[in-house]
Every structure is written in structure tokens, then in C-alpha cells.
Amino acid sequence: MVKEKAKGEKDIAVGNVATLDFYRKMITGTMIIYAVIRWCFGFSWMDIILSLLAGIGLSLLYGSMSNAARPIYSESGNLVSAGTDLNMEGGVTDYFKDIIIVTCVVLLLSLISDYFWFCWLIIPGFALVKLWTNVISPWIFQPAPEVPEGNMQQEGFKKGMRQTKQRKQASSNTSSNPGMFSSYR
């Protein structure tokens, strides 16, 4: 079995710069193509509003990725921390990259037909599936915790039940069997 070499801070910083450069070019190219084609062939208010929402969303996601990947340098100029590894699988930035790709594809496909804007619903649909499978479903359908037989709390409960049962029996015995103080009741 071959062990993978751990990424150094410099490798992470170089990878982050390349990743941010790729996504910046993707976003800019998509927005330019969309604006030019919409300007040439006309647009509606719905196109303007949805493209503005897409642009705002893309800029927020890119800004978040950029802030997460910002390296920290010491006073002498040495790299202290490379920031979050944007190429790490399973992280939040991985979802950011997926949302950026889906939004760019939806923008370009909406040039063909306005019905492609509905493909944007893939994002909240995926979020709901993740929420259901990772949070809600395990919480609802988890089995009841098994309590071992020798549990101190369970023994205390049994002892309390026995004492209650004995008190009830004692009170029923005194009321059915008159004793020497029965005349004072």
C-alpha cells in the first residue's frame, strides 16, 4: 500500500491560487457570454432579475472561497498558514464550487430557453436530501438506547416500586383488619 505524501502549506497555497483563478475565469466568462447574447437578442425583466441574483450569488460564493483560502504570512514574509485547502474533498468549499458550476451552466442554458432557470432548483433539492440523510432521518429513526440490566438507575426504580407496593399492601391490611386503634378512626 502506497502512502500519499501530505500536502505542504506551499502546495496548498499554490493549489488555492490555481483554483481561484479557474473559478474567476469561469464566472467572468459566463457572465460576459450571457450579457452579450442577452443584449443582442433581447431580454425581459425576469432575465434581468435572475441574472442579477446569479451574479450576486456567484460573487458571494467566490468571495467566501477567496477569504477561506487567504494565506497568512509572518512579518519576515514566510508562509505561516495557507488557509483552507480548496481542493479538499468533502469540505464546504467543495459545495461552493459545485454551486458555482451549476449556476454557470444554468446561466448558459437559460440563453436557449427560460425554462432552464428551473434547473437552479437542483441546489436546494440537493441540500434537502443532504439534510434528510445526515440530520433528520438519523434523528427520527434512531433506535432507543438500550439500558443494561445492572444499571443503578434501573435498580433504584425497582426498589422504589417495591417500597410503594409494600406501602399499599400495608395500608390495605390495616384497613381490612381492625387493630387496637380502630375505634379512634
Mean pLDDT score of the chain:
83
Spatial neighbors of 35 by CB under 8 A, at least 6 apart, are: 51
Range of 29-43, 138-152, 165-179 with top mean pLDDT: 29-43
Spatial separation of the C-alpha atoms in residues 96 and 127, rounded to whole Å: 12
SS3 of 8, please?
A: coil
**Amino acid letter at 173?**
N
pLDDT at 126: 93
Spatial separation of the C-alpha atoms in residues 23 and 31, rounded to whole Å: 12
**Amino acid letter at 99?**
I
pLDDT tens per residue, range 124-157: 999 999 999 988 888 888 777 776 655 555 666 6
Q: Of 123, 100, 116, 122, whose CA–CA distance to 50 is shortest?
A: 116
Give residue limits of the domains in the chain: 9-123
Mean pLDDT of the region 4-13 = 72
pLDDT tens per residue, range 98-130: 999 999 999 999 999 999 999 999 999 999 999
Helix (H) or strand (E) segment spanning residue 37: helix 9-41
Percent of the chain with pLDDT over 70: 79
